[in-house]
Structure 1
Amino acid sequence: MGDMLANIAVNAASDYYNLETKMQNLKRKLELLNCQEADVVARLGEEECLPGKRRKHVVQYWLSEVVSKQKEFESLEADVNQNRRAWRVSLAKRADKMFEEVTILTDQGAFSEGVVLAVSETIKEKFVTAEWKGQGFKEKFHGVWTYLLGNEVSIIGIYGMGGVGKTTLAQCIYNELKNENLFYGNIFWFTVSQDLNIYKLQNDIGKALNLDLSDEDDEHKRAAKLGWALERRKKFVLILDDVWNSFPYQKIGISPSHAEYEFKMIVISRSLEVCLKMECQECLKVDILSDEEAWELFMNKHSNGKELPPKVKEIAREVVKECAGLPLAIVTMAGSLRGVVDIREWRDALEELKESCVGQDDMENKVFPILLWSFNRLRDPILKSCFLYCSLYPEDFRINRYELIQNFISEEMMERRTSRQAYFDQGHKILNKLVNVCLLETWGGEHVKMHDLIRDMALKITKDKWMVKAGLQLKEIPKEQEWKEDLDKVSLMRNNINNIWSVASPKCPKLSTLLLNFFPLKSIPDSFFLHMRGLHVLNLSNTLIEYLPNSISGLEELNALLLGGCQRLKFVPPLENLKALKELDLSYTGIKEIPRGVESLTNLKCLDTIRSCIRKIPTGILQGLSLQRLSLPTRMRIPIDEVAGLKQLEEFYGKFHSMHDFNIFIKSRPSDGKLNFFHILVGKDIIYEKKLFFQRFEVKRVTFGKDSLKKGKRGKDEIMLPRNVDFLMFDRCGLCSCLFDDIQGLNSATELKTCSVYEEGIVCILRMSLEMEQPMVEEEQQSSLMPLYYLEDLNLQKLPNFIGLIRWEVAPAVAPLPRGLFSHLRKLLVVQCGKIKKLLPRSLVQNLHNLNELIVGSCAKLEEIIGDEESDGGFSAESNTVITLPRLKILDLRDLPELEIIYKGTIICDSIKKIHMERITKVRKVPFSLPPLAVTAMKEDEGGWWDSLEWEQPSANRVL
C-alpha cells in the first residue's frame, strides 16, 4: 500500500514540474498534425475538381477531429497560461491524454487506408487500350491470367522488343483485374523507365498506398514503411512497366521469399535477362505479329475494318509488310494514312517508306524510319513543332494538356488568336490530331504521353539544336562544352541539381527556351544569363531558389517568366525592361510585393500570384494592363474597381470578401464575352480556405462562404452567377429555406454540373407549392428549373433542418413533379441531415435513370430510402410496384439507426456492383432484383442480422 501511494506521489510531482515540457511536446505533435491536415486538404482540393472524385465520409470525420483537437489545445493552453498551481497536475494529465489522441490522429494521417487522401472509388482508373486483339495477343493474355489466378507463380515477366505491345498487353490485364475486382482492387501500376530512381519509385508506391514518405530520407527506413503498408493490403498486384535495369525488391519493401501476404508481380522489360534477374518465375515473350494479324491491326486502326478498293488494298498490304509485324509501327502508319483515298498518294507513301527503310535489317532499328516517315507526313510546321516540344518532358511522362497548351502559347508556336479560349481550342485541336495519327497517346483524358520509341525519334530530329536531359536524376549541370552556341532549347527539368556555378556563363545567344524546373536549385550566378539575350521562355518553377539574379532584367525578349512553386523566393529584380513579357507566374512563392516595373508591361496577358505572400497591389498597377488571366491571393483585399476594369479577362482565380464586390465583378463582364475559367471564393470565412488548393486547369467554380448571402445593411444582395458556372458550393453562407427560393439567380446557371451544400438553414432543394397549381407551359417550367435537369452531382452535408429534396405544400397530384427533373443526376450524397425521414419520393425515382451512386450516412431519423410522396395534408399512395434504376452501381448506407425500408416494392438494377450497409439493424428486406454474381456486398453482421435479411433471390446472401 505504501509503495502504491509513493508511486502516486512521484507521478503527481512529475506532472506538476513537467507541465511546460509536456505542453511543448504536445504543441510539436499538433504542428505535425496541422501539416498533415494541410497536405490532405490541398490534395482533396485537387482531386475533388476531377469528375467522380469525392472525399469519403471518414476523411471528413478525420478533418473535423483535427479541427476539434486544435480548439481543445487552445483551451488547454489558455488554462495553463493562467498559472494556477492547484491546476497543474490535472492540466498535465489533460496534456498527456490529448498527446495520445493527437498521436492516434497523426498515425491515421500518415498511414491509415481510407483516411489520408482518400477519395471515393467512383471512377476506377483504367487504361485506354486498343480494341483489336489478335490470336497471339489472346494467348499471351490467357497465359499471364492463368499465372495470376494460380498459386504457383508470384512474379511474371513480360519481355519483347520496343513497340511490340508489351505495355498494351499489361494494360489490358490491369483493366481486367479492375473489372473483376480481384485482389480487393489493390492493383498498382508503376512506370520505372530507363533511368532507374529508387527514391522516386518509393515515392510513387507510397503515394499509391496513401503513405507519406516525405519526412524520411533513409532508403532502408522508407522501404520498411512500404513493406508495412503493403502487408496491411494482404493481397495485391504490382505491375512494373519499362524496367531496364534490375534491382532488389527489398528496396520497395517486398521480400518475395518471406512475404506474409498474397501478392503477384508483373515485370515488363525489353530484356529477358532483366526479367530473370528480377526473379521472374515465368517469362512470356511478346512476339511480332503474323502477316494476317498485322493486316488486321492495320485495317482496324486505319478504317475500322472497312474494305479498301482492290488496287489500294494491294499497295496497303505492301505498306504493312514494311512495318515488319511491329504493332507500334503498324498503328503509327495506319494513323498517318487514315483518310487517304487517292491511289497515287498510296503509291508515293510506299515508295517513300521503302527508301527510308533501305539497309535497316535489325527489327528495332527498322521502326525509326517508319516513325520518321509518319512525322514528315504531318506537313504542317505547327503540328511538327508542337509534337517535338513534347520530347522536352522526361521519358514516359504524363503531360497535362492544359499545361502543354499553355506552353505552346508561351512559346508562340501556334497561329495567332485574339483570346485565350481560342488559343486553347487550337491547342486541343493540335493535340487531337497528334493523337489521331498515333504520335501521341491519350492518358486519362486530361493527359497525353509519348511512347519512348517515338520520343527517341523526336530527340534524334532535334539533337543538333536541343539539349534534353530531363528526368535523368542528374546532380550536376551539363559541362560547358555541351552548351553549344546554336542551341535553341534546353530542358533539364526534374533532375537533382543543387547549383549551376560550374557553368558560369554559357554562350547560347540563340537559346529561346530554358527549362530548369522541378529540382532543388538554390541559386543562379548573375553571369549565367549574360549570353542568353534571345531567351523567350525561362521556367524556374518548383525550385528552392531565393533570389533571382539582376541579369534577369536584361532578358528583353522574354515572353514568359515562370516562378510558380518557388516557396523560398523572396526577391525578383525590376522588370520594366521586359517589354515583351506576356506571362509572369509568381504563384506559391514567398514574394511579398509585386515586382517593380510590372505596371509598364503593356503586353502582359497572364499574372499569377495565388498563394503568394503578396497582401496588396498598389493602386494603378492593374489598370494599365490588358490581362486575360489573373490569380490573386485569398488574403488580399481585391482592388475591385481595377479588377472590374479588366475587360479582356478570361480567367480569374481569387476571393471577394463581400457579395457586393463579387456582383460588381460579374456585372462588369462584357455582354459579348464571359469568363471561360474561374475559381472564385466569396465571403470572409470558408472552411480550410487558407489551405484551399486552386486547381490550375479548366474549372468553373464558385464557393459562397460563411454569411456571404445574409441580409446586410443595404439589404440582401442580388446573386449574379456566371452563366457557365459548373460547380457551386454553399458553405454556411446564410441560406434559410429552399435553395431555389433563396437563390433567385440559380436558374441562370444553365451549365451547372455539381452542387455542394453545407448549410444549417436549408430545408429542401425545391418547393412544390400552390403556385404550381396554375398550368405552366412545359418549356417555361424547364427554363425556370434548368440546373436541376442537367445537374450530375449533388452533395448535401450537415443540414440539420433538411427534410428532403422536394417539399410538397400541396398534394403531389395537384402539383406533380416536372418531367425529367434530376434526369442527369449521377451521384447523390446525403450525410448528417438529422430531420429527413424519407429520402426519395417514388415519383422522382422514375427520373433517376442515370444515377450511378447513392450514398447516405448519419441521418438519425431516416426511415425510408424510397417512399411515398406525402403532403402536409397526409396524402399517401401505395408503394408496392416495381421500379428500375438501370445505371445504379453503388448503394452505400451507413449509420442510419431508424432505417427500416429501402423500398417496399422491387428494384430492378442490373448494373449494381456494390451494396454497403453498416450500422443498420432495422432493415429486414433488400429489394433489389440482382444480376447473378454481379455484386460485392460488404456487411456488418450484428446478432445474425445478415442471415435474417430477405432478398428478392432467396440465395443472394449466401452467394454474396
Structure 2
Amino acid sequence: MGDMLANIAVNAVSDYYNLERKMQNLKRKLELLNCHEADMVARLREEERNPGKRRKSVVQYWLSEVVSKQKEFESLEAEVNQNSRISRVTLAKHADKMIEEVKELIDQSAFSEGVVLDVSETITEKFLTAEWKGQGFKENFQGVWTYLLGNEVSSIGIYGMGGVGKTTLAQCIYNELKNENLFCGNIFWFTISQDLNIHKLQNDIGKALNLDLSDEDDEHKRAAKLGCALERRKTFVLMLDDVWNYFPLQKIGISPSPAKYGFKTIVISRSLEVCYRMECQNCLKVDVLSNEEAWELFKNKHSNGKELPPKVKEIAREVVKKCAGLPLAIITMAGSLRGVVDIHEWRDALEELKESCVGRDDMENKVFPILLWSFNRLRDPILKSCFLYCSLYPEDFHIKRDELITNFISEEMMERRTSRQAYFDQGHKILNKLENVCLLERCEEAPYEVGGTYYFGGEESYFRGKEFHFRGPHVKMHDLIRDMALKITKDNCMVKAGLQLNEIPEEQEWKEDFDKVSLMRNNIQEISSVTSPRCPKLSTLLLSSNPLRSIPDSFFLHMRGLHVLNLSNTRIKYLPSSISGLEELNALLLRGCWRLMVVPPLGNLQALKELDLSHTCINEIPQGVESLTNLKYLDTIDSLIETIPTGILQGLSLQYLSLPTRMTIPIDEVAGLKQLEVLKGNFRSINDFNIFMKSRPSDGKLIFFQILIGETFYLDEPFLREFALRRVLFGKDSLKKGKRDKDEIMLPRNVDSLVFNRCGLCSCLFDDIQQLNSATELKNCAIWDEDGIVCIVRLSLEKEPMAEEEQQSSLMPLHYLEHLNLLNLPNFIGLIRWEVAPAVAPPPRGLFSHLRRLVVARCGRIKKLLPQSLVQNLHNLNLLEGTIICDSIERIRMERITKVRKVPFSLPPHAKREMKEDEREWWESLEWEQPNDNCVL
C-alpha cells in the first residue's frame, strides 16, 4: 500500500511540474494531425472530382473529430495560460488523455480501405435501354456473354451499320455485368466518336480509375500509368463504343495478351476492319431485323404491342418494310405515327416514303429519307427549330434538359410567356414531344462526364467542378439523326463542336448567311488579331469550353446582329471593348470564366435579357447594368462581387437573381423585385428574410431558391452537393432568441430542403418552427451541430388533445420526408419525445412513411430512435447510416427487410441468429461492417 501511495505521489508531482512539457508534446502531435488532415482534405478533393464518389461517413466523422480536438486543445491551453483554479495535476492528466486520443486519430488517418464510396452504380452507371428485345438480340447477347465468361477470348468486336442496335446491345451487356457484380464491378464504358483524342480518352480512363494524370504530358508515360492502374484491378471489362478509326490499345494502357483472360475488351464499331485492327479475337455482327421482328418492334413502339385495325395494319406493314429492318428507322417511324388513326393519313405517309426512297439502294442512304420524313412531320416550326438546336452540341453528347430550355429562352425560340416557370413548362413540353417521336433519346448523365465542367489538362483546368455537377434528366441525339439535322442546317450553320480544333476556322469558312456557329468544346486558345469574320446575320456564337485566352477587338466587327454569345468555361481575362457595340445581344454568358476580371460597360446593350457572371473573378457589377430594363436573368454566384451599389437593381424586372454567398442580400434592393421567381443568396438575418417574404406579391411564389440565413457556412456533405430546387439553410445563431423581432418565420410553403447548422434550435424542431406544418413539399432535412435540440416532434397533453385529423395535418411534412440527416446533436434523445404514455398520445399514422435515407451520427443520448409502432412505416427506407457498436447483443432479429443490403453495426462472437430458410439467399448477400460477422452467426 505504501509503495502504491508513493507512486501516486510521484506521478502527481511529475504531472505538476511537467504540465508545460506535456502541452508542448500535445501541440506537436496536433500539428502532425493537422498535416494529416490537410492531406486528407486534398485527397478527398481529388477523389470527389469523380462523379459517383462520396466520402465515407467514417472519414467525415474523423474530420469532425480532428476539428473537435483542435477546439479542445485551445480550451485546455487557455486554462493553462490563465492559471485557472483547475489543478495543474488535473490539467496534466487531461493533456495525457488528449495525447493518446490524438495519437489514435493519427493512426486512423491511413484509411487503407479508401476514403470514398462508389455510389455511381445507383446514380449514373446504368443505361436506360429499350425493353423490347427480339430473338436476334437474345442470340447476340448470349454470344457476347459466352465470350465474356469464357477463357478463350479476351477481346470482342461488335459491328454493324449505323442504327442497327450495336450500342443498345452493348449497354444491356454493361447493365447485366453490373447487376451480376462480375469482374469485381470493374466495368468501364467510354464513347470514342469520330473526333478521337487520345489525350482526352486517357484522362477519362484515368478519372474512372481515380488516377490523376494532370502532372504528366508524355503520352507514353500516361499510358504506362494507366496500365499499372488497370493491372491493380486484376480483372475488368473495358467497353469502347462508336469506334470509327483504329488506334493502338497500348496508348490507353492495354497490352492485348491471350494470357490475361481477366481483362476483357469490347469494341463497338460500324466497321469489321476496325474491329480486326483493334485486335479483336472474335467479331459478332449485329444484323438488321427479320420482317416479323421488325413488325413486333414497330407495334411495341407505336401502340405498346396492341394490334392495329386490319386496313391500317396492311398499310403499316408496308411502312415497316420501307425501314429495311433497321431498328432506328423503325423506332423513329413508329414514334412519328403514334396516335394516327385516320387511314388516309397512313396512306399519305406510305406514299411520301415511297417517293423519298426511290433510287436509294445503299442501306444507310435509305435511312436518311425516313428520318427526314419524321422531322418534316413535326409541322410545328418551334419543334423543328428546338430539335435542330440540339445538333449544335458535339456528337454523342448528353445535354441537360434544363440547360437546353435555358438556351431556348435565350434564343427566343419558344412562344412568349410572362414568367420563367411558364417558359420551363413549355420547354419540357417541347422536349417531351421530341422524345415521344423518337428524335431525341432520354438519358441520365453520361458515366464519367462531369456536368458543365471542361478539362483542358493541368491542375488549373479543373474549376470548382462540384459547383457545376448536377444530376438529372438529359437528352441525346443518335449520331445518324444528328447527321440528318446537320444536313438540314448546313447552309446557315457551321457546327464544329467537340472536334478537338486547335484554331478557329479560316475566315473563308464563315459564310455571310450563317445564322449559328458552334465551336464549343474544342482546344482553341487564340484568335488572330486580324480575324474578323463577315457574318452580319449571325445570331448565335458558341465558343464555350475552349482554353481561349483572348478575343481581338476586331472579331465582332461584322457580327452586329449577334443575339447569343456564349464564352462560358474559357480562360479569357478581358472582354474586348467591341462587346459594348453588340446592341442586339440578348444573352451574354460568361459562366466559369475564372480568370475574367473586367467586363466593358454594358449600358448600350438595351436588348440584353440574360447576363451570367457566375464563377468569375469579377469584383463589381459591370457599369451600365442599372439601365438594362429588359434584363430578366442575372447570375453572379461564386464571383468576387461583395456589394451591389444602391439603385442598381431597383429599376430592373429580374426573374432570376443569384448572388455570391460571401455577400449579404441588400434587402432594400431585392424587396422591390416583384417578378422574381428564382433567388440564390444570403440574408443577413431572419428579419431581412421575413421582410423579403412579406414583400412578395400574393401570387408571386418563388419557384426555385437556395437561401442562406445568417453567417455563411460550408458543410462538405453529399446532402449539400445534391441538387435541390428549393432549399433554405439556417446558419450560425440565426434562430436564437433576440436575433429576430418575432417568433414568426416566413418559411416558403414549397420548400423542399431545410438545413439547420448551429442556428440555435431550442428543444423540439416542430415547436421552434411552427410554420413547418405548412411545408408539405419538404423532402430533405439536415440538422447539424445543434446543442439545444432534443427531438423532432413532441407529443403532449398539456392542452386539449388534438383530433387525429388535426394532428395528421400539423405533422404532414414528416409524412413525405425522404432524407433525414442528424449529426452531432449531444442532447438529442429520439425522433419523438413523449411527455405522456404513447398509448395516450399515439403518433399519427403514416409518420416517416416516405423516409428513404436516415443518417444519425454523434447523437450520444439517444435511447430509442423511434417507437416500435412506427417501424412498420419505414417500408421505403433503403439506407441507414451510422456505425453502431453492439458489444452486448446476444440475439438479433431481422424480418421482412430484404431490401437491406448493408448491416450498419458489428457484432460480438456470442451473438445468435434466427433465420427462415427462404431468407438464406438474402442473408448470404448482406454486407456487414466486419466481414466475418456473417460467418460467426
Return the TM-score normalized by structure 2.
0.85
What SS does the aligned partner of 2:561 have? Answer: coil
Amino acid at match of 1:797: L
What SS does the aligned partner of 2:599 have? Answer: coil
Match for residue 539 of structure 1 among 566, 573, 587:
566
Q: Is the Cα contact below 8 Å between 2:240 and 2:266 reproduced in 1?
A: yes
CA distance in 1, matches of 2:291, 2:550: 58
Q: 1:72 to 1:173 in 2, by over 3 A?
A: farther
CA distance in 2, matches of 1:426, 1:412: 12
Match for residue 526 of structure 2 among 490, 494, 499:
499
Q: 1:218 to 1:564 in 2, by over 3 A?
A: same
Could you say which residue in structure 1 is the equivalent of 2:294?
A: 294
Could you say which residue in structure 1 is the equivalent of 2:896?
A: 908
Deviations 1:142-173 (A, max 9, x none): 11112222232222211111000011111111
Deviations 1:94-153 (A, max 9, x none): xxxx99999997x98xxx875358547655632211111100000011111122222322
State the identity %. Answer: 76
Could you say which residue in structure 1 is the equivalent of 2:369?
A: 369
Could you say which residue in structure 2 is the equivalent of 1:672?
A: 699
- How many Å apart are 1:177 and its aligned residue? 1.9
Q: 1:691 to 1:437 in 2, by over 3 A?
A: closer
Q: 1:65 to 1:796 in 2, by over 3 A?
A: closer
CA distance in 1, matches of 2:917, 2:757: 39
Could you say which residue in structure 1 is the equivalent of 2:756?
A: 730
Could you say which residue in structure 2 is the equivalent of 1:848?
A: 874
Q: 1:24 to 1:544 in 2, by over 3 A?
A: farther
Could you say which residue in structure 2 is the equivalent of 1:590?
A: 617
Deviations 1:826-860 (A, max 9, x none): 122222222223334210011122222222x2xxx
CA distance in 2, matches of 1:469, 1:358: 32
* 1:464 and 2:464 aligned: no
Q: Is the Cα contact below 8 Å between 2:391 and 2:486 reproduced in 1?
A: yes
Amino acid at match of 1:933: E
Amino acid at match of 1:628: Q
Could you say which residue in structure 2 is the equivalent of 1:936?
A: 925
Match for residue 591 of structure 2 among 564, 575, 579:
564
- How many Å apart are 1:742 and its aligned residue? 1.8
Per mean C-alpha deviation after superposition, the further-off stretch among 748-757 and 682-691 is 682-691
Match for residue 820 of structure 2 among 789, 794, 808:
794
Could you say which residue in structure 2 is the equivalent of 1:137?
A: 137
Q: 1:234 to 1:766 in 2, by over 3 A?
A: farther
Deviations 1:895-921 (A, max 9, x none): 4244627855x5123444444644766
Could you say which residue in structure 1 is the equivalent of 2:912?
A: 924
CA distance in 2, matches of 1:917, 1:706: 33
What SS does the aligned partner of 1:432 have? Answer: helix
Q: Is the Cα contact below 8 Å between 2:892 and 2:912 reproduced in 1?
A: no
Deviations 1:458-496 (A, max 9, x none): 000000100000000000110110011111000000000
Q: 1:561 to 1:673 in 2, by over 3 A?
A: same
Could you say which residue in structure 2 is the equivalent of 1:624?
A: 651
Q: Is the Cα contact below 8 Å between 1:40 and 1:117 reproduced in 2?
A: no
Deviations 1:314-356 (A, max 9, x none): 0000000000000000000000000000000000000001111
- How many Å apart are 1:822 and its aligned residue? 1.0
Could you say which residue in structure 2 is the equivalent of 1:813?
A: 839
Structure 1 portions without partners, runs of 5+ = 1-22, 48-52, 79-97, 858-893, 950-960
Could you say which residue in structure 2 is the equivalent of 1:387?
A: 387
Q: 1:930 to 1:673 in 2, by over 3 A?
A: farther
CA distance in 1, matches of 2:592, 2:69: 30
Deviations 1:727-773 (A, max 9, x none): 1111222113222122221112110011111133322221222248x
- How many Å apart are 1:716 and its aligned residue? 6.0
Could you say which residue in structure 2 is the equivalent of 1:412?
A: 412
Could you say which residue in structure 2 is the equivalent of 1:721?
A: 747
Q: 1:34 to 1:505 in 2, by over 3 A?
A: farther
Per mean C-alpha deviation after superposition, the further-off stretch among 820-829 and 714-723 is 714-723
Q: 1:831 to 1:850 in 2, by over 3 A?
A: same
CA distance in 1, matches of 2:124, 2:181: 10
Q: Is the Cα contact below 8 Å between 2:152 and 2:261 reproduced in 1?
A: no
Could you say which residue in structure 2 is the equivalent of 1:746?
A: 772
Could you say which residue in structure 2 is the equivalent of 1:210?
A: 210
What SS does the aligned partner of 1:141 have? Answer: helix
Amino acid at match of 1:790: Y
Q: Is the Cα contact below 8 Å between 1:62 and 1:115 reproduced in 2?
A: no
Deviations 1:216-258 (A, max 9, x none): 4333343344334434433332221111122222322333329
Per mean C-alpha deviation after superposition, the further-off stretch among 124-133 and 682-691 is 682-691
Match for residue 579 of structure 1 among 606, 626, 630:
606
* 1:646 and 2:673 aligned: yes
What SS does the aligned partner of 2:831 have? Answer: strand
Alignment of 1:85-96 (within 5 A): none
Q: 1:618 to 1:690 in 2, by over 3 A?
A: farther
Could you say which residue in structure 1 is the equivalent of 2:12?
A: none
* 1:169 and 2:159 aligned: no
CA distance in 2, matches of 1:631, 1:794: 27
Structure 2 portions without partners, runs of 5+ = 1-29, 79-101, 445-471
CA distance in 1, matches of 2:226, 2:74: 35
Q: 1:236 to 1:914 in 2, by over 3 A?
A: farther
What SS does the aligned partner of 1:737 have? Answer: coil
Q: Is the Cα contact below 8 Å between 2:724 and 2:752 reproduced in 1?
A: no
CA distance in 2, matches of 1:331, 1:897: 56
* 1:475 and 2:502 aligned: yes
CA distance in 1, matches of 2:268, 2:311: 40
* 1:523 and 2:544 aligned: no
Per mean C-alpha deviation after superposition, the further-off stretch among 161-170 and 251-260 is 251-260
Deviations 1:660-702 (A, max 9, x none): 222222222221121111111122141348999888x771111
Could you say which residue in structure 2 is the equivalent of 1:834?
A: 860
What SS does the aligned partner of 2:548 have? Answer: coil
Per mean C-alpha deviation after superposition, the further-off stretch among 379-388 and 500-509 is 500-509
* 1:275 and 2:312 aligned: no
What SS does the aligned partner of 1:706 have? Answer: coil
Q: 1:29 to 1:357 in 2, by over 3 A?
A: farther
What SS does the aligned partner of 2:792 have? Answer: strand
CA distance in 1, matches of 2:237, 2:346: 46
Could you say which residue in structure 2 is the equivalent of 1:250?
A: 250
CA distance in 2, matches of 1:101, 1:821: 39
CA distance in 1, matches of 2:885, 2:143: 47
CA distance in 2, matches of 1:770, 1:903: 35
Per mean C-alpha deviation after superposition, the further-off stretch among 793-802 and 328-337 is 793-802
CA distance in 1, matches of 2:890, 2:388: 61
CA distance in 2, matches of 1:167, 1:267: 10
What SS does the aligned partner of 1:370 have? Answer: helix
What SS does the aligned partner of 1:265 have? Answer: strand
CA distance in 2, matches of 1:737, 1:120: 38
Could you say which residue in structure 2 is the equivalent of 1:355?
A: 355
CA distance in 2, matches of 1:514, 1:746: 47
Deviations 1:345-374 (A, max 9, x none): 000000001111111111111101110000
Alignment of 1:104-115 (within 5 A): 114-115=114-115
Alignment of 1:875-886 (within 5 A): none
Q: 1:470 to 1:232 in 2, by over 3 A?
A: same
Q: Is the Cα contact below 8 Å between 1:464 and 1:487 reproduced in 2?
A: yes
- How many Å apart are 1:931 and its aligned residue? 4.2
CA distance in 1, matches of 2:731, 2:261: 47
CA RMSD after TM alignment: 3.4
Could you say which residue in structure 2 is the equivalent of 1:8?
A: none
Per mean C-alpha deviation after superposition, the further-off stretch among 707-716 and 365-374 is 707-716
CA distance in 1, matches of 2:917, 2:822: 28
